[in-house]
Amino acid sequence: MIYLVEDEEGIRELVVYTLCSTGLDARGFSNGAEFWSALREEMPSLVLLDIMLPGEDGLEILRRLRLAPETARLPVMMLTARGTEYDKVRGLELGADDYLAKPPGMMELVARVRRLLRRAETDAEPEEYSVGGLFVSVPRRLVTVDGTEVHLTLKEFDLLAYMLKNAGIVMTRDRLLSVVWGYNYEGETRTVDTHILTLRGKLGRHGAVIQTVRGVGYKAVG
């Protein structure tokens, strides 16, 4: 089952019709609220997301999908309007798997959808990290240090998981704020520092897994 969130009725109907006619099941929704309620009934195998939507926009929907363990690896393709490079980049930064410019060519859409579905089948290993005595399981939201469970707050966990997923990559405070707290979060980058500090404390001798990159931000070693 493929879910499409697109407020333009013409595009929505065309995409759903095209996918269904090639043997792929698809349902269209005109806004985030309808999409979330359908998601509770049935988990799709892929999501197509328009960016400009009434209410919650496509990037916000994407961010929420990536943060929830059960949808963190769900393949997502963004539909971007012509000339909105910024949205495309934001989408990829937030973890979109692919993007397609609107109006999408139907042959290309089907080919890309099939490619993403194939890729999802081949790399479906669980999102778990083991660094020295530190073990993190994203689907189970479990963290252990030398075999003992450590209790993290929601944001501490999301921060740690995101950093381990991108181990070796330097993350600016702004990027961490936008991914973990939401891109329209109005807080300060100091929030990130405070959380890193308590997170390191809870991880004990494995706190060094998160390194400070002076003048830039943080990176995880993994």
Per CB under 5 A, residues contacting Ca ion are: 7, 50, 52
State the minimum distance, in angstroms, from the CB of residue 55 to Ca ion.
11
Beta carbon nearer to Ca ion, 7 or 56 = 7
On whether the CB atoms of residues 94 and 66 are closer than 8 A, the answer is yes
Distance from C-alpha of 217 to C-alpha of 174, rounded to nearest angstrom: 9
On the question of a cis peptide bond just before residue 69, with omega within 30 degrees of 0, the verdict is no
Complex with Ca ion: residue 48 or 145, whichever CB lies closer: 48
Tokens of 181: 């707290």
What distance in Å separates the CA atoms of residue 30 and residue 88, rounded to the nearest whole number?
20
Least distance (Å) from Ca ion to the CB of residue 4? 11
Strand order in the sheet with 142-145: 128-131, 134-137, 142-145, 148-149
CB of 102 to Ca ion, least distance (A): 8
Nearer to Ca ion, 78 or 160 (CB): 78
Of 50 and 60, the one with the shorter C-beta distance to Ca ion is 50
> Least separation, in Å, of the C-beta of 96 and Ca ion?
16
Shortest distance (Å) from residue 79 CB to Ca ion: 8
C-alpha distances in angstroms, 33 versus 13, 151, 165? 18, 31, 29
Question: Could you tell me which residues come within 8 angstroms of residue 69 by beta carbon, excluding any fewer than 6 positions away?
Answer: 127, 138, 139, 140, 141
Q: Which of 166, 137, 169 minimizes the C-alpha distance to 150? A: 137
Q: Which residue is nearest to Ca ion (CB)?
A: 52
- Of 52 and 72, nearer to Ca ion (C-beta) is 52
